[in-house]
Amino acid sequence: MLATKALARLSADTLLIAGGPGARTTMMDRRLNAALRALCERVPRVGSICTGAFALAAAGLLDGQRATTHWAHFDEFGTAFPKVQIDRDALFVTDGKFHSSAGISAGIDYALSIVESDLGRAVSLDVARALVVFLKRPGGQAQFSAQLAAEAAAVGADAFGELRSWMAAHLRNDLSVQALADRAGMSARTFARRFGDALKITPAKYVMTLRVDAARRMLTDSHAPIARVADRCGFPSAEAMRVAFQRQLNVAPSDFRARFQSSASSRHSSALKPRLRLG
């Protein structure tokens, strides 16, 4: 990459800091940190991709704020920047004018959210199609879905794979241990033991995580009432969903929606419409 301007002369509507080994080595460069801090003061919206959050944090720009980065660097980031509140349960985070996203693919989701905020949902979906992106994920989605986490922990290439796919598609069904055991052709006791041995999680906890994951997506990408979200995701009531959210995420569904709903990000950037200019 060839630099064509000095940092002191740069200006932009949006500044994005890319991740990579270089972003983490900037922590010790006081001169660069000072220049980045001065630049960010002139830019109305600043975002980081992956470990780009290290550069922003090293410049002191994220102190007292929520931020995220790639999951593999949570501990390193937390040790280096104890004043930053790490959000370990988000693909991307917005706190004031500072944004941060998780891994590189999450940076695509974050970039699409900027396009949606500035130019509207229809344009962002057109861009997603052009990029051959299967799904534009909301910021509140976990870096690991329940299914991906199960795949990572599974003993065997396809431990209960067909059953898990069916469960994810039928969250409103009876997903009790007995019902799942009947579907798998086992006794409840044998099923619970084999499922736990293979996936390192009990069937009940796995079902609850599936339902919370689905509710997270629906809360951030729709305006459906809380009770309807709970029903569609298989919770017996809105209160049951609230308890599950508090237990897994330490936040109420309504607060989660307020923090992550896709349209919420458009309020702070209305002054930037309709032009999108990246620096």
CATH for 28: 3.40.50.880
- The pLDDT tens digits for 158-205 are 678 889 989 999 999 999 999 999 999 999 999 999 999 888 899 999
Asked if 151 and 194 sit in the same domain, the reply is: yes
Is residue 97 a part of any domain in this protein? yes
pLDDT attached to residue 170: 96
The H-or-E segment that residue 92 falls in is strand 92-95
Q: Is the same domain home to 127 and 29?
A: yes
Residue 91 is assigned to a structural domain of this protein: yes
Q: Are residues 23 and 95 in the same domain?
A: yes
Return the CATH number at 215.
1.10.10.60
Same domain, 131 and 167: no
Query: Per residue in 38-68, pLDDT tens?
Result: 999 999 999 999 999 999 999 999 999 999 9
CB 94 within 8 A of CB 53: no
β-strands 14-17, 45-48 pairing: parallel
Task: Indicate whether 242 and 159 sit together in one domain.
Answer: yes
Residue 1 placed within a domain: no
- The DSSP result for 250-279, as a single string, is SS-HHHHHHHH-GGGGGTTTGGGTT---B-
CA-CA-CA-CA dihedral for 248, 253, 257, 259, to nearest 10: -60
| Same domain flag for 165 and 268 | no
Residue 100 pairs in a beta bridge with 48, 93
Q: Answer yes or no: do 254 and 268 share one domain.
A: no
Q: What is the mean pLDDT of the chain?
A: 82
CA distances from 231 to 138, 141, 206, 212, 249 (A): 21, 19, 18, 12, 19
User: Are 78 and 175 part of one and the same domain?
Assistant: no
Residues 74, 103: one domain? yes
Asked if 87 and 206 sit in the same domain, the reply is no
pLDDT of residue 131: 79
| Domain assignment of residue 59, yes or no | yes
In a domain, 277, yes or no: no
Domain span including residue 17:
7-135+263-272
Residue 31 resides in a domain: yes
Verify that 129 and 11 share a domain, yes or no: yes
Residue 146 is predicted with a pLDDT of 54
Q: Are strands 92-95 and 14-17 parallel, antiparallel or unpaired?
A: unpaired
Torsion of CA 95, 96, 98, 103, to 10 degrees: 30
Q: How far is CA 128 from the centre of its chain?
A: 17
Please give the pLDDT value at position 85: 93
Same domain, 120 and 155: no
What CA–CA distance (Å, rounded) separates 69 from 36? 19
Q: What is the domain count for the chain?
A: 2
